[in-house]
Structure formats: structure tokens, C-alpha cells
């Protein structure tokens, strides 16, 4: 019988969620904010620079940082769109 791993994607999703939670928690503690939504553009720029200098695409933490940046951008784009109407 050949090796199989059924529903491996569930484990991957759990790992991705754990990494993302850890990045969110660390960033919020570092900047003393309650939520990533409270981060400023300057702070996001600092995080992006940190990623460029320290986190390559194969680093396990890269998915957490990418999720944080994407989520922050999504939240701020939504908020900006609300005010444009």
C-alpha cells in the first residue's frame, strides 16, 4: 500500500492560521495596537521593509506577514471606499 495523507490541506490550513496568528500577535504587541487595522502606513512600510530584508518566500513566516499586509490593505481600502461615497 502506497503512503497517503488524506485531507492534508486541513493541516496546512491550521499551520497557516497559526503562523498568521503569531505574526498578528507579535506585530500588535510591538506597535502597541489592538488590531492590525490600527497600524499606520509608516508602520506597514516598516513591516514590508523587514520582510524584504529578512523573510524570503521559503521562510515559514512569510505566509503570516503576507496575510497581515493583505488584510491590512483590504481593511484600509474598504474604509477609504466608504468615505469616498
**How many Cα atoms sit within 13 Å of 30 on the Cβ side?**
12
The pLDDT of residue 79 is 55
Question: Which three cell numbers mark 62?
Answer: 512569510
The pLDDT of residue 14 is 97
Q: Tens place of pLDDT for every residue, the chain, 85 residues?
A: 999 999 999 999 999 999 999 999 999 999 999 999 999 999 999 999 999 999 998 999 999 999 999 999 998 886 555 555 5
Q: What is the pTM of this model?
A: 0.84
The residue whose grid cell reads 481600502 is 77
Amino acid at each position: 500500500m502506497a503512503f497517503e495523507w488524506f485531507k492534508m490541506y486541513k493541516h496546512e490550513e491550521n499551520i497557516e492560521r497559526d503562523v498568521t496568528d503569531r505574526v498578528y500577535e507579535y506585530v500588535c504587541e510591538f506597535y502597541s495596537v489592538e488590531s492590525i487595522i490600527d497600524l499606520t502606513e509608516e508602520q506597514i512600510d516598516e513591516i514590508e521593509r523587514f520582510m524584504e530584508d529578512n523573510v524570503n518566500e521559503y521562510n515559514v513566516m512569510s505566509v503570516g506577514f503576507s496575510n497581515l499586509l493583505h488584510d491590512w490593505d483590504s481593511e484600509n481600502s474598504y474604509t477609504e471606499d466608504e468615505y469616498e461615497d
